[in-house]
Structure 1
Amino acid sequence: MAESLLFSVAETFIGKLTSRLLEEASLALGVYDDLRRIKDTSSLIKAVLLDAEQKQWQNNELREWLRSVRISRNRNTCNRNRIHDHNRNLKPWLRQIKHVFSDAEDVIDDFECEALRMQVVNTSGSIRRKVRHYFSSSNPLAYRLKMAHQIKDINARLTKVAADRHNFGLQTNYSDTRIVQKRELTHSHIIESDVIGREHDKQIIIDLLLQDGDDKSLTVIPIVGMGGMGKTTLAKSVFNDERLGEAFQKKMWVCVSHDFELKHLLVKILNSASDSSPSENIQNFDIEQLQNHLRNTLVDQKFLLVLDDVWNENRVKWEELKDLIQDSLSVFVKWAFKEGEDKKHPELMEVGENIVQKCGGLPLAIRTLGSSLFLKFDIKEWKFVKDSDIWNLPQKDDGILPAIKLSYDQLPSYLKRCFACFSLFEKSSLLNDFEVTAFWDALGFLPTPKQGENSGDIGKQLLHELWSRSFVQNFVDGGSIFSFGLHDLVHDLALYVARDDFQLLNFQYENIRENVRHLSVLQNDLLSQISIPTGLRTILFPDGANSTPFLNNCLSRCKYLRLLKINNSRYKNLPRSIGKLKHLRCLGLVSNQELERLPDSVCKLQNLQTLDLTDCQKVQKLPNGIGNLIKLQELCITTKQFNFPVELVKLSSLEILEFNNCDNLMFSFEGIQFPKLKLLSFSYCGNLKSLPFHIIPNIETLIIIDCNMVILSMGDDNNNQIPKLKLKLIRLASLPQIVTFPQWFQGCANTLRSLIIENCENLEELPNWFSTFISLKNLLIENCPKLISLPEDVLPNLEHLIMSGCPELYRRYDMLPLDKIGTRYHISNMLPLN
């Protein structure tokens, strides 16, 4: 990791040294005492890293500032030299620590790999095979000698850098006291549409849109301003205003971002204008065909089109802001205090007013800093923010706002490390907690779970903490699934803070930076131009990848890979050498339409935690030996296989199990328990007839999409035996056999938070017992034309109600008063809004 994140690296490494698996392996190899010395030395280094990180920032950032402003040559020059002399060797020392920790982690992981392999051999192999494979498949004695030598080398290197810590006057600190004050998730009703100080602007725009005039004329209303000012928030507030639903027959929202190429823009507009997925492949249309198609779509209709995030070639210059101090202060107070708490702390409010002024009225800056001070009542902490030197850093057109950089600096080390991973995703990406948690877990970034917790629980907790600090936005809690995005400026911050170890490769002739550990390549034609660093831990392939030499090179050179994603590629198969990536934790192969098989060598990857084969529709069967993947937590399957291997029963660590486009799936899961399973999903499994009801009581998410033959009834619904369920989210889509809900659904009345029902054409009612669902907060019903009513008692508890394509419901609830439900609702006969 970058030098600024080393404390978290050290903490994770020391945690590895305490595992029982490692202890047993070190005793067998005779290096137990060496590992204990490594742990003690690492603890000494960790104790000074927080102070070193702070001094490193001062050394780099402050000297940059001092060079950029005009200063007198006397006192300030002395200050510059003093800072430089005191810390001139600090960065190389931190770099040494970074390298030795990285190498040490590889050695320790190698131990764990061998111990896991022994575990598999002991449970499934013959006596002869057990002896032959003891700690190595070839030469156990050579392996022991090699590992013992590597351990002693790591010990010596750590001892040397630990001794050098005395040269820098560093203070010791054994724990990171920067904590995230917990903000209740119910506080999420401070959503993007909760605009403070923009009511007047909103009314002006609505008046312009509703004014009488020539209906055939095209009116353009621009909303311009600097990044983070809240332009998108204002536009969303206008777009969702119910008064516009009557004035416009069609409403479209298109995010343009940097892609203003005409053809791509027309495709986006058409996709937004369509009431359902376009039946034609408009991607292959030329511009003339797209224009004609759009004219036909919009003919004789008054429409509203919002083009969000429009950039010109040089980026729109930021305009001066009006004096909105009072409105800005209201936003700050809402994020920094619980309701009414601000009145108890007038001394903090005085400092807060100065902080708000320095934010220049930018809502993003105000929210992040307000969130960072939430439930902090020590005035010293507030004054530290107000008086920080970072406010004096010069701002360029594409620079990072001082306020959000300052908020980032106050994050605990473990959150900084996780936040850096967002730099590998493209701007405007919609993310979810399952994807991101798998990412963090594969790279070893998650804190050690407490008793009773798993990686999914920890991932949700960290995302909640980032949300509470306003580092993620559009945060939607679906019960068991979180979805979210990042503001463009926050994404810029991620790129900035992660630049040493993470790289998003997007342009031709861009060099891969030295010592990069995590690489995401966005364009297929870049694969032939780049040289692959051997120390990579992460590689994300671009869509359409088909370079076999690049793939083979990755697998042969990057033996320490933890995360490999080859989504949407055109490879027909993977080489057997992938089985040598024994450190690999996550293998993503989503939507590889040409992939026909997976080599059996994949099943040698005992460390693998995620295997995603979603939408690999030519894969004939799962690889032999899949039961050996004893650490597998997430398995997503698309295959033509008829009989699934019984060895799936060995996957006792599974938390997520998804079947997608498995038309031959018919088995009943008898004898398979999956005790840790949280999510079970069946999509486009045409021959699936029944659900594994013995598994369902333990899961939190159930998804069933386009499984025409499945019967939801347990077959014994009239015996009044309602199982107790833990379900938090249910999604049912394209299930024509559903007329009403089976009674066993009542078992989750106390836990269900989100219910999504889509394209259930024969659904006629939600039973009256739905009124007992006291935890239900989110209800989405789309394209259920026969559904005529909802249980009245359900509505008051809802926070989000979205109905679309349900004409009977539309007529019944179109005039529903706003106070009937919670924070937001949208009822439309046409199009759902997000």
Structure 2
Amino acid sequence: MAESFAFEIAAKVLEKLGSAAYERISLAWGVREEFEKLKLTLAVIGAVVLDAEQQQACSQELSLWLQRFKDACYDVEDLIDEFEIQELRRQVLERSTGSKVRHFFFGSNPLAFRFMMGNKIKKANEMLDEIAANKAKFHLTPKHETNVIHRERETYSFVKTSSVIGRDEAKQHLVNFLMDPTDGEDIPVLPIVGIGGIGKTTLAQLVFNEESVKSHFELRIWVCVTEDFDVKQLMIKIIKSANGRESKDMNKEELHKALQDCLNGKRFFMVLDDVWNEDKKKWSELKDLLGGGAQGSRIIVTTRSRKVATITGTIPPYDLEHLSYENCLSLFLKLAFKEGEEKQHDNLVRIGEGIVQKCKGVALAVKTLGSLLCSTRVQHDWELVRDSELWKLKQEENDILPALKLSYDHLPWYLKQCFAFCSVFPKDFEFNPLYLISLWTANGFLQSPYENEEPKDIGNRYIQELLSRSFFQQVEDKIFTFTFKMHDLVHDLALSVAQNEVNPCNHYSTGNVRHLRFDLSKQDASQLANNLNRLQSLFLSDKEGKADSESLIAEVISRSKHLRVLGMSKCSFEQLPNNIRYLKQLRYLSLVDNGNIKRLPNSICNLQSLQTLDLGGCRGIEELPKDIRYLISLRELRVTTKQTRLQENGISCLTSLRILSFFECENLENLFEDIQNLTALRELYIYECHNLVSLPQGLKYLPTFENLSILNCEKLDLTMEELELEKEEGGSLRKLRIGGVPKLESLPRWILLGSTQTLQHLCIRKLENLCTLPTWFQHFTSLQNLYIINCPKLSCLSEGMQHLTALKRLRIGGCPKLNKRCIEETGEDWPKIAHVPDFLLW
């Protein structure tokens, strides 16, 4: 089922070559004619690639021809990148004159570069001519993407558990188990057993969120159990689910005490989702740790394995059966049509009945295909799904991969690589949109018809489309963002289509792998040092510090000259090697949670293509590189540093910066004053900077600034009385979160007042001295979400809040005085918020 991705890669390269930016570059370097020849040959071969991909399973020679074409496309992409890198170097040299700068960018002689690139383009054209000549022997015909179902409307809604059909009896069985007053000495455990995709997790979610269950238990805990049944990691997850606290740095004894504090004397309900462990000793160890709860506590386990059910269960398992045909059809129609719309499309309903029959009662298959077809009413599109050859493939009983592959085949080409790339992450990995978009951007996966569209906006659109097609599933709706994951069967699909491109395992196989994850603490590092030349993404981790990391990293860099992404989170090396400068195409570099590294080599500033630099949690870094201003492509920077002050002409010169984060900068007292130079900055995050005293005044003059988040900065003073009236309109702030700032007595007018028409999300929490909301609060006419949490001195809501008609969600908790005034119907402030449809008070 592996895909070649030749069509997708060729389309991406052709789009680049045809862009206005590369038109300018080809004219500037006098290579327009050579570029045009590349485009023409690529287009000629690309026209028959879809036919070749469909026939390659029957011909090894054709498969090899496709591989050669794909490799040639990657080579052309590398070639194009070199022109872009040279253009970036030219921009740096224009900004800063002097022999030191010219020496810093050695090897930038334009005549030598033109000669070298002329030869490379010539070789690329010769290679493509040879591939084009060889295609004649395969008798291929031009084809276009005819089976792609394009969405006619954007959808941002997710299928919620309220949409579950046909599980009422199963739900009641589980609720009865949870409410049963009889108890033995042991905590009762009920396993739910069923095949993958049948709806075990959805059923557990349905019960978990049942109102009667919520009120019956003092504590509800949800833990997704990975295939690696690590008791310490499970304790960390249980504690986080129970009280929201991170405990990753605790040892086992400390975790045990924290876990007992969470459970002590409380009646809890715990779901352990997707359990694979068949080692009874490990299960007994975990079970013993959960004995501190009150009588009436219950555990539900979901699993595909009957052996797991036997080991974990204290009562017979609940066998979740396939959905009936009638229920499958109801679910399909609910997803494929708006309410009542199916009555207008009898022809499509008949076709849908045939599709549902082939799904064999598996909810995930029904859900995926229903989501796929919801955006088209073209009969031919529906017939393509029903009559696909994929249904005829030999498959194991209960195998739903053909249904999922069918949905994958209907993705637009630009989404296929994005989806397949996600298989480099382990099963049950929780994605953060910002993180995934940064990786997609670095690999050049994001395509837009608009030249100046922001990558974050393109990436968010891709994520929403994959969510709407059920390739992603939303896990948690957080205050200003959300997390999502892939169902493990969808992950299997991604891995199956990407197997020639992606290797997520702890071994490295030679060949054409482009994206690799490698755990140095689990595998011999010597296996990494061969054949890395084709790699574009490399994720290394070494949680246990077993590897000789510094020499290994130097070796990896010397053999991976085309890397776009280098992730080295939780590695323990003390120095990043100087040869990092040779990764000219590197766009993403992460050193997250490396506590040993003290400084970065200044040669890192030679990486003009670098777009993301993540130093979060690198608590040993003494100062940032002195020439950081030369990273002119940097769009996202996350910093942890011991500095008390940041150097002048440093970060403030990074005019491409969109996202800037300061995380655990314990000594930092001030940010740079000339922050207004960052005219493209959209987001600023400041967390755990305990000595930070003030924010720069220029913050309010940023023209595209949308998101400000400040947490746990005890010394921060946000008052600027003399500036309050200077600018009262024209702001662009959309999201503001402030918490753990004890000096704050009123909301910072100088930050907020200019954005009364744009602010959509506001969260204020742990503001122990906040007494009142301002009178001008009623002017936030675009406000949609408001969270007021743990503000004990806040006594009332401001007047006029009833005029905030856009307000859809309101949360108030841990504010004793305010809570009393907001009690439904009887509270004094209730009339101000009675119009809010989603209100929660605790």
TM-score for the superposition, normalised by structure 1 = 0.86
Q: 1:534 maps to what in 2?
A: 533
Q: 2:514 maps to what in 1?
A: 517
2:266 corresponds to which of 281, 294, 301 = 301
2:695 corresponds to which of 666, 687, 690 = 690
SS at match of 1:305: strand
CA distance in structure 1 between the partners assigned to 2:796 and 2:590 by the alignment: 42
Q: 1:672 maps to what in 2?
A: 676
Q: 1:71 maps to what in 2?
A: none
CA distance in structure 1 between the partners assigned to 2:366 and 2:783 by the alignment: 32
Q: How much does 1:241 deviate?
A: 2.5
Alignment of 1:263-662 (within 5 A): 263-274=232-243, 276=245, 282-285=250-253, 294-295=259-260, 297-313=262-278, 316-317=304-305, 321-396=321-396, 401-448=401-448, 450-474=450-474, 481=481, 483-506=483-506, 510-532=507-529, 533-544=532-543, 546=547, 547-641=549-643, 642-662=645-665
Q: Percent identity?
A: 38
CA distance in structure 2 between the partners assigned to 1:591 and 1:291 by the alignment: 24
CA distance in structure 1 between the partners assigned to 2:576 and 2:269 by the alignment: 48
Q: Return the letter of the residue paired with 2:513.
A: V
Q: Return the letter of the residue paired with 2:729.
A: P
Preserved CA contact (<8 Å) 1:46 1:174: no
Q: How much does 1:604 deviate?
A: 0.7
Change (3 A) 1:809 1:392: farther
Alignment of 1:795-814 (within 5 A): 805-806=814-815
CA distance in structure 2 between the partners assigned to 1:717 and 1:215 by the alignment: 67
SS at match of 1:120: helix
CA distance in structure 2 between the partners assigned to 1:454 and 1:267 by the alignment: 37
CA distance in structure 2 between the partners assigned to 1:229 and 1:799 by the alignment: 34
CA distance in structure 2 between the partners assigned to 1:529 and 1:599 by the alignment: 25
Q: 1:832 maps to what in 2?
A: none
Q: 2:135 maps to what in 1?
A: 165
CA distance in structure 2 between the partners assigned to 1:436 and 1:99 by the alignment: 25
Change (3 A) 1:497 1:348: same
Q: Return the letter of the residue paired with 2:359.
A: C
Preserved CA contact (<8 Å) 1:121 1:129: yes
Preserved CA contact (<8 Å) 2:612 2:637: yes
Preserved CA contact (<8 Å) 2:612 2:636: yes
Identify the range of structure 1 (440-449 vs 90-99) with the bigger mean alpha-carbon deviation.
440-449
Instruction: Provide Cα deviations, 1:235-274, integer angstroms capped at 9, x if missing partner.
Output: 2222223323332222222222323344443444344444
SS at match of 1:153: helix
Q: How much does 1:599 deviate?
A: 0.6
Q: Return the letter of the residue paired with 1:754.
A: H
CA distance in structure 2 between the partners assigned to 1:803 and 1:348 by the alignment: 47
Change (3 A) 1:821 1:412: farther
Q: How much does 1:574 deviate?
A: 0.7
Where does the alignment leave 5 or more consecutive residues of structure 2 unmatched? Answer: 280-302, 307-318
CA distance in structure 2 between the partners assigned to 1:234 and 1:798 by the alignment: 32
SS at match of 2:365: helix
Q: 2:6 maps to what in 1?
A: 6
Preserved CA contact (<8 Å) 2:629 2:653: yes
Preserved CA contact (<8 Å) 1:215 1:302: no
SS at match of 2:572: coil
TM-score for the superposition, normalised by structure 2 = 0.85
CA distance in structure 2 between the partners assigned to 1:810 and 1:205 by the alignment: 34
Q: For this pair of structures, how many residues does the alignment match?
A: 790
Identify the range of structure 1 (244-253 vs 416-425) with the bigger mean alpha-carbon deviation.
244-253
Q: Return the letter of the residue paired with 2:536.
A: R
1:708 corresponds to which of 702, 714, 720 = 714
Change (3 A) 1:780 1:479: closer
Q: Return the letter of the residue paired with 2:170.
A: D
1:178 corresponds to which of 148, 158, 168 = 148
Q: 1:752 maps to what in 2?
A: 759
Preserved CA contact (<8 Å) 1:253 1:308: yes
Preserved CA contact (<8 Å) 2:156 2:468: no
Instruction: Provide Cα deviations, 1:109-140, integer angstroms capped at 9, x if missing partner.
Output: 1222222212211331238976x899x62766
SS at match of 1:55: helix
SS at match of 1:116: helix
1:736 corresponds to which of 726, 736, 742 = 742
Preserved CA contact (<8 Å) 1:113 1:607: yes
Preserved CA contact (<8 Å) 1:118 1:133: no
CA distance in structure 2 between the partners assigned to 1:244 and 1:476 by the alignment: 19
Change (3 A) 1:3 1:352: closer
SS at match of 2:604: helix
CA distance in structure 2 between the partners assigned to 1:291 and 1:600 by the alignment: 44
CA distance in structure 1 between the partners assigned to 2:572 and 2:223 by the alignment: 29
* 2:121 maps to 1:122: no
Instruction: Provide Cα deviations, 1:634-668, integer angstroms capped at 9, x if missing partner.
Output: 11122223233314343221111112223324145
CA distance in structure 2 between the partners assigned to 1:213 and 1:810 by the alignment: 37
Preserved CA contact (<8 Å) 2:196 2:304: no
Change (3 A) 1:741 1:233: farther
* 2:191 maps to 1:222: yes
Q: How much does 1:142 deviate?
A: 4.9
Alignment of 1:104-253 (within 5 A): 104-126=76-98, 137=107, 142-173=112-143, 178-188=148-158, 190-214=159-183, 218-253=187-222
Q: Return the letter of the residue paired with 1:302.
A: R
Identify the range of structure 1 (361-370 vs 393-402) with the bigger mean alpha-carbon deviation.
393-402
Instruction: Provide Cα deviations, 1:567-597, integer angstroms capped at 9, x if missing partner.
Output: 1211111111101111111111111111111
Change (3 A) 1:750 1:469: farther
Q: 1:72 maps to what in 2?
A: none
Q: Return the letter of the residue paired with 2:769.
A: N
SS at match of 1:524: coil
Aligned-pair Cα RMSD in Å: 3.4
SS at match of 1:659: strand
Q: How much does 1:156 deviate?
A: 0.8
Change (3 A) 1:578 1:478: same
Change (3 A) 1:568 1:301: same
